[in-house]
Structure 1
């Protein structure tokens, strides 16, 4: 019987096949890795859905595949033969080398794996259970922290913790085995040969050492031999993109991955070495471009302690990563900020009336000014689609989005995060109010998932509850614009006959000048202000 093997749900668009781990004729066990793929945000391995013998391989390295793509066919009869052969080998092995399977009536051991967290590897920061604990379904098992947020991994089912496979500081990703649970309703079956598994792990760990390239060395100012990053054979699309962002020539980076493959850490180390050269003056002195395009003097080295008492306070992981992203966006995007004011006198009166009505009806919802600003922004984005776009990776075209997802900057104890509220243009004020309350609470509690912060079209950063009259928000790439909101204030406004007190809301719209010109930005900001001045316009 022939069995077709398809790509499972990998939660992404097309991904590139980077390595095929089996060949025709191989006997494959269920869940054995068949090939490696890499997408925009992560690399992963595709496992076999069931056991069998590889009959044909329908893809090759470099092909693009997606969920449902046919990648291989298995011979089913070979699968059964392989299974019988494995059983025979297990019986033949001495008891000293292989732990015999144990059966306990009414219980079973099940694997607990990391669910789809929509990103690269994340770091385990806390383990919330211990061996022997009885765990309920959806109870938090551990905390992890990635590039954009920290989150908790829940139990997919109830059970008793039998074994914990990870420790604090380990890196895990979607599909990683983290624990074994003992559950009710089946037979507990121990692995037939743990010694064999350990031997295979040892061999797998030893193999890359023989093939690994030398550790990355300091970049030489006189080295040449440029190779286009797009044609570089031993770097994934993700790494090529990272190299382009930093302006790095991958031909000069020593890869430490498998078979000399350039990995993310290699590029980061190379950039760090370049920065050190710049700080020491070597980059500017060499004249070979190692100053990364900036003729800068070295960063001042100051011993602050000699002037008085100091304390070194480490930045949180989110602050470090946010800082790097903000620096990249500020340097790479030509920013211009358009300032304006919106008369929200009528809006504020209406908002207070609706809040009083909601309290009277015990609706359990509170309308904030931000919710009305979100609706006004969504309406303005539909009228000015250029603001709801992104530049293509090569900068040759503009990608116009037909959906309106707004990022809302939230200040948390660990740093700034930007959860995304989806389809704002399709939701009402009540629904948005509740969703905004929920997502803001998740952000402050550190429970945002990767999907909570993906897909944003335009960001709003509101400092209205703190103060200030204006500021220059930094565009959140790959978006092309961002709205900054400051504290509203009563100001005298001339109505043609006399001055009237009006509640004015300061607006600061920063935009990417490669995409948006000044006249368009002024019209967008004026339109947004008019919607806020008469909120009835957003329902038209």
Structure 2
């Protein structure tokens, strides 16, 4: 029987083979994880469709293959007694090897990639993460220990022979263009080639919000500024639902989504990922803050499910902590209509109503929208309303009552 790569996520066309969790000859039960793959949005395990014996592999680790590709073959082995007899008939040493091979090595795809690129056998690493999971730091620690041992060996050898280089490093100036990075590129190209992007830039006074946030922190309620931003955006979307819509070209209609499912762009070492925080219109700012932290933690641990990364109706990107003073043109997540990006906040002199110069905390915002669906005037009204809510946090709270 052929085990093929099936569609495990919205819009998925291909995936990278991260690792095989079994070897030819292994006996597995139905639903046993046998292959780990990575798409542009998530890491997932392909389970065995039947109980049987693993046969020949049809693809290689690290290879990127399209949906429908045969990954490996499995021989139907429905007679459980035969399975048991086969295992019992193995010599003890072989039986132990068989069992050890079925034991999964817990490590994220990017961690495995670090190990592969540095020639490290990941099976030799002792994981210090949750449940013995191997994390990036474990690989780097192993490399550092190996490097130290190599230097010590070289220093010892120098005393007995002519000096030689301690470390022979080879500079690698190429980066594999596959897996998540390739999928991100494909998605971005599709978006910019399909959607006529228009970007509106705005300055948002966040002085009073930051003070309100500090007041809450002093009474034990530490809530991120982003949680306030998301709630304010949700209020704006209720008033300007055109930005929470989807264009159906074939049916010639614009579908306004009543539910606010926000994609939250998270910067990962292996590429951008956008988990979805659902039904923000019904959530408190505190709930948004907590769920946002949970999603970010799941993303960094590669534990996002298909539901966690699909169904977004609007996207936000918070690049402010990284810097960037003037904003950029963020690319919309097709088939969504708009994306808002928050940029660096800095203190600036501002002319007050009484013509006095005061210092305020100003954040730059950029909003890209699909010009087929919405116009610039609507985008200006949308960001003006957002600025009004953020300028006066009390108004934001009143809108939630």
Give how far 1:133 is off. Answer: 9.0
Work out the CA distance in 1 between the residues paired with 2:339 and 2:353.
34
Provide TM-score, normalisation by structure 2: 0.64
Distance 1:346 1:139 in 2: 54
Superposition RMSD in Å: 3.9
Structure 1 residue 472 and structure 2 residue 329: aligned?
yes
The worse-fitting range, judged by mean Cα deviation, of 489-498 and 474-483 is 489-498
Q: Aligned-pair distance for 1:418?
A: 1.4
Q: For residues 91-115 of structure 1, what are the alpha-carbon distances to aligned partners after superposition, in whole Å with 9 as ceiling and x for unaligned?
A: xxxxxxxxxxxxxxxxxxxxx9999
Preserved CA contact (<8 Å) 2:4 2:68? no
1:432 aligns with 2:283: no
Residue 519 of structure 1 is matched in structure 2 by 377
Query: Which residues of 2 match residues 160-309 of structure 1 at below 5 A?
Result: 163=54, 168=61, 169=63, 187-188=80-81
Decide whether the 8 Å contact of 1:163 with 1:181 is kept in 2. no
The answer to whether the 8 A contact 2:348-2:359 is kept is: yes
Measure the CA separation in 2 of the matches of 1:344 and 1:472: 21
Give the equivalent residue in structure 1 for 2:309.
Answer: 453
Superposed displacement of residue 165, structure 1: 7.1
Which residue among 38, 41, 45 is the counterpart of 1:153? 45
1:357 corresponds to 2:205:
no
Task: Flag the 1:436–1:316 CA change in 2: closer, same or farther, 3 A.
Answer: farther
Specify the alignment match of 2:263 in structure 1. 407
**Offset, 1:187:** 4.6
* Aligned residue number for residue 318 of structure 1: 180
Measure how far apart 1:486 and its partner are.
0.4
Q: Could you tell me which runs of 5 or more consecutive residues in structure 2 were left unpaired when the two chains were aligned.
A: 84-170
Shift of 1:123: 4.2
1:368-390: CA deviations, max 9, x gaps?
22111111111111110111111
Structure 1 residue matching 2:321: 3-state secondary structure: coil
Aligned CA distance change for structure 1 residues 134 and 370 (closer, same or farther; 3 Å):
farther
- Flag the 1:315–1:187 CA change in 2: closer, same or farther, 3 A: closer
Listed as ranges, the gaps of 5+ residues in structure 1 are 1-31, 33-111, 191-308, 360-365
Query: TM-score, with normalisation over the residues of structure 1?
Result: 0.49
Aligned residue in 2 for 1:496 = 353
Deviation >6 Å, runs of 4+ = 112-116, 131-140, 170-174, 176-183
Report what 2:227 is aligned to: 371
- Separation in 1, partners of 2:237, 2:224: 21
Kindly indicate whether residue 400 of structure 2 is the aligned counterpart of residue 539 of structure 1.
yes
Task: Check conservation: 2:22, 2:54, Cα contact below 8 A.
Answer: no
Where does residue 302 of structure 1 map in the other structure?
Answer: none
Q: Name 2:96's counterpart in structure 1.
A: none
Return the alpha-carbon distance in structure 1 between the equivalents of residues 282 and 24 of structure 2: 47
Corresponding residue of 1:335: 197
- State the Cα deviation string for residues 176-231 of structure 1 (Å, max 9, x = none): 99879999xx95366xxxxxxxxxxxxxxxxxxxxxxxxxxxxxxxxxxxxxxxxx
Structure 1 residue corresponding to 2:342, chosen from 485, 491, 494: 485
Q: Is the 8 A contact 1:122 1:173 kept in 2?
A: no
1:339: how far off? 1.2
Equivalent of 1:508, from 357, 366, 371?
366
The answer to whether the Cα contact below 8 Å between 1:342 and 1:507 also exists between their aligned partners in 2 is yes
CA-to-aligned-CA distance 1:346-386 (integer Å, 9 cap, x gap): 21122233334347xxxxxx522211111111111111011
Aligned counterpart, 1:224: none
Q: SS at 1:416's partner residue?
A: coil
Partners of 1:437 and 1:164 in 2: how far apart? 42
CA separation of 1:403 and 1:503: change in aligned 2, threshold 3 A: same
- Is residue 2:17 matched to residue 1:124? yes
Higher normalized contact order (CA 8 Å, seq sep 6+, divided by chain length): 2
Q: Partners in 2 of 1:433 and 1:482 — Cα distance? A: 20
Report if the CA contact (8 A) 1:132-1:161 is conserved.
Answer: no
SS of aligned partner of 2:204? strand
Instruction: Say whether the 8 Å CA contact 1:316–1:414 is kept in structure 2.
Output: no
* Greater Cα radius of gyration, structure 1 or 2: 1
CA shift for structure 1 position 344:
1.3
**Cα offset, 1:467, TM superposition:** 0.8
Aligned pairs, number? 302
Identify, as 1 or 2, the structure richer in helix: 2
Relative to structure 1, the CA distance from residue 334 to residue 141 in structure 2 (aligned partners, 3 Å threshold; closer, same or farther) is: same
- Offset at residue 427 of structure 1 (A): 1.3
